[in-house]
């Protein structure tokens, strides 16, 4: 896999950073995407072959720019792992329009933008892999997770349709839906008194599953949701 190229959104920390480290160990060349320069540089420092792109994946123009830049840099794209996300905990009665829209844009629309932008390149190459990060919340959400759970459930079904549409072009689309993962996003709304550390997954455990999907070890799970939790 030493010539293969993978784009990772949300690569600055958490599951995205762990995935970058995992794929780097397997010899992948990486395009690391985040909105935060410092976090991107920290992730890139852990990898041997990585370029960084500061972009807003909720903007379709930025997403097209990511694809174009990856092709200019490496000449091809073999996989994309969509880790960018946000998980505000806001009751439905007090959620604002902006909070709802931003949650859907970050967790769901960005996956649509990435998939649409990747499709022509994957068709030209006669194949490619997309791994979308969903959540256990897509089937069993906390109170306050109305928008987040709806977005992640949308990821599950959007990915199923994409997998079916991609089959004739040798394009696989997988979904990984973790439970509680020890990340900043989790701890921003959930203290250890609610979910202790011994009940959370390390991001590296999720990254190992993602790597199996990207590498093709779980080739026959295209379109399926793989739940990973303790």
Q: Note whether 83 and 23 are within 8 A (CB).
A: no
148 is catalytic: yes
Of the candidates 74, 113, 148, 227, the residue annotated as catalytic is: 148
N-term to C-term CA, the chain: 31
Question: Which residue is listed with tokens 């293969």?
Answer: 4
DSSP per residue, 85-119: -------GGG--HHHHHHHHIIIIIHHHHHHHHHH
Nearest to 100 by CA among 145, 70, 38, 37: 145
Residues known to be catalytic:
148
């Amino acid at each position: 896999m030493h010539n293969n190229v993978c784009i990772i959104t949300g690569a600055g920390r958490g599951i995205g950073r762990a995935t970058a480290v995992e794929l780097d160990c397997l010899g992948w060349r990486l395009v690391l995407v985040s909105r935060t320069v410092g976090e991107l540089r920290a992730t890139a420092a852990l990898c041997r072959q990585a370029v960084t792109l500061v972009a807003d994946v909720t903007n379709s123009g930025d997403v097209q720019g990511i694809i174009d830049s990856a092709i200019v840099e490496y000449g091809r794209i073999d996989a994309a792992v969509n880790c960018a996300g946000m998980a505000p905990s806001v009751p439905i009665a007090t959620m604002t329009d902006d909070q709802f829209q931003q949650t859907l844009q970050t967790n769901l629309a960005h996956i649509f933008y990435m998939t649409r932008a990747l499709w022509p390149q994957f068709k030209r190459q006669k194949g490619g892999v997309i791994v979308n990060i969903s959540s256990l919340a897509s089937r069993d959400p906390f109170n306050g997770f109305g928008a987040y759970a709806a977005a992640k459930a949308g990821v599950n079904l959007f990915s199923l349709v994409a997998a079916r549409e991609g089959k004739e072009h040798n394009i696989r689309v997988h979904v990984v839906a973790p439970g509680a993962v020890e990340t900043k996003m989790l701890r921003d709304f959930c203290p250890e008194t609610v979910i202790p550390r011994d009940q959370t997954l390390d991001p590296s455990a999720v990254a190992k599953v993602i790597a199996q999907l990207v590498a093709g070890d779980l080739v026959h799970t295209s379109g399926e949701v793989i739940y990973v939790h303790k």
